[in-house]
Amino acid sequence: MTSTKSRYFGDKHFYGRIFTVMLPIVVQNAITNFVSMLDNLMVGRLGTAEMTAVSVANLLVFVYNLSVFGAVSGAGIFTAQYYGGKDQEGVRHTFRFKILIAGALTACAIVLVLLKGRSLLVLYLKGKGDAAEAARILDFSYDYLRVILIGLVPHCLTQAFSSTLRETDKGVPPMAAGIAAWMVNLFLNYVLIFGHLGAPRLGVIGAAIATVVSRFVELAVVAVWTLRNKEKNPFIAGAFRSLHVPGELAGRILKKGLPLMVNETMWAGGIAFLEQCYSLRGLHVVAACNINNTFFDVFAVGFISSGVAIGIIVGQELGAGKIREARESTPKLIVFSLLLGVALGAVYFAAAHFLPYLYNTTGDVHRLATRLMIASAVFFPVEGILNCCYFIVRAGGKTMITMLTDSGLLWGVQVSTAFLISRFTDMPIVPFYTLIQSLIIVKGIVGLLFVRQGRWAVSLVKEE
C-alpha cells in the first residue's frame, strides 16, 4: 500500500514545487480570462446581437493567440532546459527567437483579417435566424475586430517576455502585469462601453479599445521589470543588441517547435470549426455556446495552468539530466491533474445553474447555455489528464507526437464527426455537443499510452 501511495502521490516538497510554479501562472491566466469574461458580460448587457458579435470575432483572435502561444512554447521547451542547465546564452537566443516568430505571425494575422475578415466572420452567421439580425451582428463583429488588431502587436511581445520569465522561475512579474492590465481593462470597459464619466457610449468598440489599451499596459509592466532587473534576468543583458539567433539553434527550435506551432494553430482552428458546426443549429446556439465558452475558459485556467507548470518542471529536470526523476514523477502529476479536474468539474456543474443568467438575453439562450455547461463539466477530469499528458510529452521535445495526438485526433475524430452530424443530420444541439465532447476520451487514452512508454524523457540541451 505504501509503495502504491508513493508512486501516485507525492510528498509536501513535490506539491510545494508544483504550486510554486503553478500559482503565478494560475493568477495571470485567471486574470486574463476574467478580463475576457468581464468584456463578454458587459457587452452582453447591451444585448444578444452585441454579445454574439464579440464572441464570433474572438474566435478568430483565439486562433491567433494559440498560434503565438504554440510558437513561443516551441522555443520555450529549449528555454526551460537551458535554464535547468544554467546556460544563460541559450536562454537569450530562445528569447530572441520568440520575438521574431511571434512578430511574423502577428503581421500575417493582421494582413489576413484586413483582407478576409468579413468573409471569415460570416461563416458563423449562416444558421437559422433573422437575416437582418445576422447582418447587424456581422457589422458589430468586424468593427470590433479591426480595433483589436492594434493590440496584437503588444500582445506578441508580452508573450515573448512572459513565457521566458515563467520558464526561468520568475512567474510573479507576468502575474503583476496581468493584474495591471485587468484593472485598466475593467475601468475602461465601464467608461467606454456604457459612456460613464463623460465619455461617449461606444458599445462593442469601447470594449475593443479597452482591451487594446490593457495590452500595452501589460507589455509595459513586464518589459520594464525585466529590463530594470538584469541581475535577476541575465538573459536580457545584450538581448537587443541584435536579434541574431545561431542558425543551428534556430533550425533545432524549428524542428521541434514547428510541429508545436502547427499543432496549436490546428487545434485552435479545429475548435473554431466545431463552433461553426454548432452555429448551423441557429443564432441562439451561437449565443449559448459563447456563454459556455466564456465561463469554461475561466474554470479551465486551473488544469491548463497546472499543465504549463508541469511542462516547466519536467523540462527543467530533463535539462539538468534528471531523466529518472522526471519519469518517476509522471504518475503523481497525472493523478494530481485528474483530481484537480474532478474538483473544477464539480464547481462548474453547480455554477451552470446560475451563471448564464448574468447575461441580458432570452430565456431559451439561458436554458441552453446551462445544459451545455453541464455537458462540459462532466468531462473536466478527462481535460485535466489530457493537459498533463500533453505538457509532459512536449517537455521532452516530442512535438510531432503531441501534434498527432492533440490536433491530429481533434480533426480526425471530433471535427470530422461534427461535420457529418451538422451537415447530414438534424440531431439537436445538446446531444450533438455532448457526443463531440465525449470523444476527448479517445485522446486521453492515447495520451496516457505515450506517457507510459517514456520515450519523451530526453534532454535536448545535452544532445548538443
Structure confidence by residue, pLDDT tens digits, 101-112 = 999 999 999 999
- Sign of the dihedral defined by the CA atoms of residues 436, 25, 67, 123, in that order: positive
pTM as predicted: 0.72
Question: Cα 237 from chain centroid?
Answer: 30
Helix-helix angle 88-121:247-279, to 10 degrees: 30
In angstroms, the CA 273 to CA 85 distance is: 41
**How many Cα neighbours within 13 Å face the side chain of 155?**
25
Q: Is the pLDDT of residue 41 over 80?
A: no
* Residue with the larger pLDDT of the pair 58 and 8: 58
For position 397, what pLDDT does the model report? 67
Q: Is the pLDDT of residue 134 over 90?
A: no
Task: Look at residue 83 and give its three-state secondary structure.
Answer: helix
For position 49, what pLDDT does the model report? 81
For position 107, what pLDDT does the model report? 94
Q: Tell me the range of 34-38, 40-44, 96-100, 299-303 where mean pLDDT is highest.
A: 96-100
* Residue with the larger pLDDT of the pair 400 and 154: 154
Rounded to an integer, the average pLDDT of 34-62 is: 78
**pLDDT confidence of 223, banded at 50, 70, 90?**
very high
For position 1, what pLDDT does the model report? 46
* Residue with the larger pLDDT of the pair 399 and 409: 409
For position 237, what pLDDT does the model report? 84
In angstroms, the CA 439 to CA 409 distance is: 9
Mean pLDDT of the chain: 84
For position 217, what pLDDT does the model report? 95
For position 130, what pLDDT does the model report? 67
Contacts of 71 (CB under 8 A, 6+ apart): 98, 101, 102, 105, 257, 260, 261, 264
Query: Longest Cα pair distance anywhere in the chain, in angstroms?
Result: 68
Query: What cell was used for 354?
Result: 446560475
Lowest mean pLDDT among 107-116, 167-176, 319-328, 452-461: 452-461
C-alpha distances (whole Å) from 162 to each of 94, 168, 217, 305 are: 13, 10, 14, 14
Terminal alpha carbon distance of the chain: 42
C-alpha distances (whole Å) from 272 to each of 33, 317, 343, 414 are: 18, 35, 27, 12
* Residue with the larger pLDDT of the pair 355 and 302: 355
Q: Is the pLDDT of residue 463 over 60?
A: no
Q: Is the pLDDT of residue 241 over 90?
A: no
Q: Is the pLDDT of residue 354 over 80?
A: yes
Q: Provide the 10 A C-beta neighbour count for residue 219.
A: 23
Lowest mean pLDDT among 85-89, 315-319, 418-422: 315-319
Rounded to an integer, the average pLDDT of 12-19 is: 80
Rounded to an integer, the average pLDDT of 37-63 is: 79
- Say if CB 380 and CB 441 are below 8 A apart: no
Q: Is the pLDDT of residue 128 over 80?
A: no
Query: What cell was used for 406?
Result: 492533440
Rounded to an integer, the average pLDDT of 423-431 is: 92
Structure confidence by residue, pLDDT tens digits, 250-303 = 888 888 777 777 877 788 788 888 988 998 888 788 889 888 988 898 888 887
* Residue with the larger pLDDT of the pair 3 and 325: 325
Structure confidence by residue, pLDDT tens digits, 200-218 = 888 889 989 999 999 999 9
